[in-house]
Amino acid sequence: MSGLSYFIAGEAAMQALGATLGRVTECEGTLYLQGDLGAGKTTLSRGLIRGLGHAGRVRSPTFTLVEPYEMGSQRVYHFDLYRLADPEELEFMGIRDYFHGPALCLVEWPERGQGVLPKPDLVITIAPEGEGRRVQLQPHSARGEAWCAALAGGAA
């Protein structure tokens, strides 16, 4: 499976990439967002969620672990597992329900949920590069491959 790599200069471009990604996913599937503190995971998520039509704020769900969004019939669950002490906590919060049915799940700090978290369709890795960020997209399923093909075909 071949991935995609983008250099993204600035917050606005990061949000625009998120919005494009949201359209391509048609709001169904699982995205992991990897990268250090301050990499830009929430920025990308914000662009994605707003791009799907959410007009309000998009806050980092660090303390609540998950923030749900509903835009018409579309649902997005934005997870931030940074403060997850034990992956088993995810079982207690009924994680399976979130990943069941048509919804898009965005997961920051997926490493913390290893073993309990469902597999991703796409892994997004963000790293600093100069004044901007290097964003790498690696598909992990046929669905993720289709998204990357759409992006490479000019959806971006």
Ligand X SMILES: Nc1ncnc2c1ncn2[C@@H]1O[C@H](COP(=O)(O)OP(=O)(O)OP(=O)(O)O)[C@@H](O)[C@H]1O
Interface contacts to ligand X, rule CB under 6 A: 8-11, 13-14, 35, 37-43, 60, 80, 108, 132-133
Nearest to 52 by CA among 76, 68, 32: 76
Strands 122-129, 132-139: pairing is: antiparallel
Taking CB under 5 A as the binding criterion, the range among 9-17, 52-60, 71-79, 133-141 that sits at the site for Mg ion is 52-60
Site membership for Mg ion, residue 133 (CB under 5 A): no
Taking CB under 5 A as the binding criterion, the range among 42-50, 87-95, 98-106, 123-131 that sits at the site for Mg ion is 42-50
Helices assigned H by DSSP within 2-124 = 11-25, 41-51, 88-92, 95-98
Euclidean distance between CA atoms 32 and 138, whole angstroms: 10
User: Of the two residues 47 and 144, which places its CB atom closer to ligand X in the complex?
Assistant: 47
Euclidean distance between CA atoms 78 and 58, whole angstroms: 9
Site membership for Mg ion, residue 42 (CB under 5 A): yes
Euclidean distance between CA atoms 104 and 26, whole angstroms: 8
Distances (CA, A) of 61 to 9, 99, 133: 25, 17, 22
Tokens coding 20: 């494009």
- Min dist CB 108 to ligand X, Å, is 6
Site membership for Mg ion, residue 15 (CB under 5 A): no
Taking CB under 5 A as the binding criterion, the range among 16-24, 87-95, 101-109, 117-125 that sits at the site for Mg ion is 101-109
Which residue in the shown chain puts its C-beta closest to Mg ion? 42
User: Of the two residues 41 and 112, which places its CB atom closer to Mg ion in the complex?
Assistant: 41
User: Of the two residues 43 and 74, which places its CB atom closer to Mg ion in the complex?
Assistant: 43
Site membership for Mg ion, residue 112 (CB under 5 A): no
Q: What residues line the site for Mg ion (CB under 5 A)?
A: 41-42, 60, 108
